[in-house]
A = this chain, B = another copy of it.
């Protein structure tokens, strides 16, 4: 019977998660959460040209945990800096706000200044599977790829909803996430690596957002994608409003045990040490949502720049463009703002989910959120978001 169940699991159920930038489901700003700054056209990491995102979502089974059988609520998300066809490295930097997590490949990012492949997000115990499968995918798909590649694979823990020790993520799911990567709209919420994640004791998962700085500031875009799996309820702040203290139902945690992965992409021509600066700002956006980065949290952030194609070539000399440090402030602000919004987008998109052992995790109730924002005079009127018009223009 266990085998039968397991066989059933092989059938991945893709639950049509909401698409960022599409009209189907509301996002945080659609609900009236007031944001600063001007988002890009899709308000997604894919607003940074070339960036592609793919998900493999595994949802199967219900009820009591049978290790190896389910219930399964997990997956893989792939972020490809220059898209599936490219083997051209990007400048990158990373930051560990709280290192209770894994992000492989960071020693080489730190040393070389380059991210040489995709960023893969999954659950804690599947890092190995995803890493090895990524090596294989690269060897097969990327011309001239060396066999000593050091993939970047990061994780958060979905064991509250998922049969995590069942090791349900397989090589094929990794390939699926990579092969399905696309620009354009990005599915959010309970999708890909975010499928089984929780956030402030609401359902969490994948979220994304972007900011575009003014032409005078360079016209650059900063895009952020998060796998949000952190926080205890009372900490949650939305646009500064203590929402977590107002919604007390459905809590289940004794202490912070989650994590958040934050990927920051930009087309601004930044060098590796500048991208570390950007990665560090993700912490400030996270803080705005109320996080104190608990001991149990793996808060690992990576930033890359799609500018300077060819900078990673191995022969001759590379010509690269550099944005002066003195012009980085708008990018810092953009990173903080987009990080805050990406997290809230994850919360808004993810809906109530029941998983392992009948554990039920509430989706952030949209109406309650609007009521509370109104109570604190922070509900943005329709069409009055700071970046709304600008967003349309983009």
A261–chain B nearest beta-carbon distance, Å = 12
Tell me if A127 is interfacial: C-beta within 8 Å of chain B.
yes
* Interface-lining segment among A4-12, A50-58, A100-108, A183-191: A100-108
Q: Contact check: which of B240, B326, B333 meets A242 at CB < 8 Å? A: B240
Do A287 and B336 contact each other (CB < 8 Å), given the known contacts A99-B110, A293-B281, A320-B322?
Answer: yes
* Interface-lining segment among A19-27, A80-88, A128-136, A192-200: A128-136
Tell me if A69 is interfacial: C-beta within 8 Å of chain B.
no
Tell me if A241 is interfacial: C-beta within 8 Å of chain B.
yes
> Is B272 in contact with A283, judged by CB distance below 8 angstroms?
no
Q: Chain A's interface: helix, strand, loop or mixed, by majority?
A: mixed
Tell me if A252 is interfacial: C-beta within 8 Å of chain B.
no
Tell me if A141 is interfacial: C-beta within 8 Å of chain B.
no
Count of this chain's copies in the oligomeric assembly: 4
Q: Contact check: which of B98, B112, B273 meets A113 at CB < 8 Å? A: B273
- Residues of chain A from 375 to 394 with CB closer than 8 A to chain B in the complex: 375-378
> Is B294 in contact with A329, judged by CB distance below 8 angstroms?
yes
Residues of B contacting A136 in the complex (Cβ-Cβ under 8 angstroms) = 165, 167
Residues of B contacting A101 in the complex (Cβ-Cβ under 8 angstroms) = 107-108, 150
Q: Complex formed: what's the CA distance from A375 to B165 in Å?
A: 51
Residues of B contacting A73 in the complex (Cβ-Cβ under 8 angstroms) = none
Residues of B contacting A103 in the complex (Cβ-Cβ under 8 angstroms) = 107
> Is A287 in contact with B283, judged by CB distance below 8 angstroms?
yes
Tell me if A292 is interfacial: C-beta within 8 Å of chain B.
yes
- Residues of chain A from 322 to 376 with CB closer than 8 A to chain B in the complex: 322-329, 332-333, 335-336, 375-376
- Of chain B, the residue at the smallest CB distance from A134 is B128
- Residues of chain A from 286 to 336 with CB closer than 8 A to chain B in the complex: 286-288, 291-296, 298, 300, 311-329, 332-333, 335-336
Tell me if A269 is interfacial: C-beta within 8 Å of chain B.
yes
Do A100 and B112 contact each other (CB < 8 Å), given the known contacts A164-B147, A240-B241, A377-B377?
Answer: yes
> Is A96 in contact with B125, judged by CB distance below 8 angstroms?
no
Q: Complex formed: what's the CA distance from A131 to B103 in Å?
A: 13
